[in-house]
Amino acid sequence: VLQSSSSLKASYEDWLLTYGLSISPFHMRWQTALFNRQFYSWGRWKPKFLYLWFSIGMVFGIVAMFGSVILLGKTLMQTLTQMLTEAPSAQNDRVLQVVVGVLCSGFIFVPLGFLLCFVLLSCPHQQVPGVNLPVSQLTYFFSAILISGVVHEVGHGVAAIREQVRFNGFGIFIFIVYPGAFVDLFTTHLQLISPVQQLRIFCAGVWHNFVLGVASFMVLFLLPAILFPFYYTGVGALVTEVAEDSPANGPRGLFVGDLVTNLQDCPVYNVEDWNSCLGDISEKSQVGYCVSAATLQQLSFPTRVYRRLDGTVECCSNNSLTDICFSYSNKLDSHLHACLPARKVIEASKVCRTNMDCQKDFVPGFCVTPSLENQTRLIRVKHPPHIDMLYVGHPMHLQYTVSLSSFVPRQNFLSIDLPVVIETFCKYLISLSGALAVINAVPCFALDGQWILNSFLEATLSSLIVEKQNRELLGFLILLAGSALLAANVALGLWMVTAR
């Protein structure tokens, strides 16, 4: 609208130029020379060290270029195999496919072209905004993208100054909703330096992303030691949030600040134990509880037994919220059932698998097992000093609706959320910065891999393939194959996620 106005167009364009702004559909960019002095300071700091640093980065970039092709090829084959062998229902049942492809999470502009920023599904926690990423995680996601992009471009800028290439400016941008960064280098200088010098500059971005990912991993790994003066670990899993619709929400459920120490007979010392215990409970059959013969006779009452549609047995017909149907066996009959008050049966009992586990001091006892629908479990959650929580439902529902932390504050005024924030942000940095390093090294049009490949061919094949045209043709064919490989991974990766 402003550009179409004859009276405002000139002043509008002057205003944009004055502040280094560029605005177009879905894209806003800001460039400045304010940081040039700082970049030149970094680029001239300890020349020998920087030479070694970017030489290591050059080797890493070349290895990453070949490695990314192997990784994408392997990923594509796994995705195709999975698509052909798995039924659609099996694909839809999974929360996220593991190592099935690449998810495109947005376009990020860099000075060497448009960069596809996306996440390899190497673990089941990678998510895509608008598909399966909670709103609460968007801040981590976009912050990690921006920081990864800035570190990437700082690598290019400092390496260029180290190789005597003129540095014009640094900027940031927003493409649709995705933030990023870029550096503006003097192209003529870049073309005049040797192919090896060019490689140091072109590989610096993926090298810095790799270093950022490693640094984030080290912080994550050493976080218990870093936070030791303020938080202690190894005593349980601290509840930080309970969703409103969580089955653990209620007067006898879990509350923020509770410390979970056991799930059934599985000890919980941290969040990893919590997840592991819930996984084991979900995979294994329901455990039973030891009840003496006298107690069983006292608590049970005559019931009518009937079978559910899935074949399991129900014997409580009084619609009680406190009674559960238990099954057990004696020497004469192995298919006995009793409707018992769950809390009285469980609270003072130990878990068991058979009647033999319940023989104590020659007192006869039975191992009574909750008779529940398939995949449903009765779980005793210990969170002292509170009364045990008895949960009936699918174990994964408990996992998804309760957030926990392994870090317990030493003082009441310390935030229980701070360690979780640091952990989550480090995980996003590792994922996104690592993906940026791997994917940007792919020999593909408009990625750093294009320029890394061209410089690599010039540095290694100039004596074998004398004609520059032939080297350029070889590079073009390799880039065409790399682009097709990348596009296939993106397309199939998106399909695998959206198909569910």
Q: How many Å apart are CA 31 and CA 167, to the nearest integer?
A: 12
What values do phi and psi take at 388, rounded to 5? -55, 140
Q: In which residue are the tokens 């912080």 written?
A: 219
Q: State the burial class of residue 321 (Cβ atoms within 10 Å of its Cβ: 0-12, 13-18, 19+).
A: exposed
Q: How many Å apart are CA 68 and CA 120, to the nearest integer?
A: 11
Of 13, 86, 153, 373, which residue is the catalytic one?
Answer: 153
Q: In which residue are the tokens 């009647």 written?
A: 355
Q: How many Å apart are CA 288 and CA 342, to the nearest integer?
A: 12
Q: How many Å apart are CA 171 and CA 161, to the nearest integer?
A: 16
Strands of 237-242's sheet in order across: 259-260, 237-242, 402-405
Assign 3-class secondary structure to the chain. Answer: CCCCCCCCHHHHHHHHHHCCEEEECCEEEEEECCCHHHHHHHHCCCHHHHHHHHHHHHHHHHHHHHHHHHHHHHHHHHHHHHHHHCCHHHHHHCCCCCCCCEEEEEEEEECCEEEEEEEECCCCCCCCECCCECHHHHHHHHHHHHHHHHHHHHHHHHHHHHCCCCEEEEEEEEECCEEEEEEEECHHHHHHCCHHHHHHHHHHHHHHHHHHHHHHHHHHHHHHHHCCCCEECCCCEEEEEECCCCCCCCCCCCCCCCEECEECCEECCCHHHHHHHHHHHHHCCCCEEEEEHHHHHHHCCCCCCEECCCCCEECCCCCCCCEEEEEECCCCCCCEEEEEEHHHHHCCCCEECCHHHHCECCECEEEEEECCCCCCEEEEEECCCCCCEEEEECHHHHHHHEEEECCEECCCCCCCCHHHHHHHHHHHHHHHHHHHHHHHCCCCCCCHHHHHHHHHHHHHHCCCCCCHHHHHHHHHHHHHHHHHHHHHHHHHHHHHHHCC
First to last CA, the chain: 42
In the annotation, is 153 catalytic? yes
Preceding omega of 251 cis (within 30 degrees of 0): no
Mind telling me the catalytic residues? 153
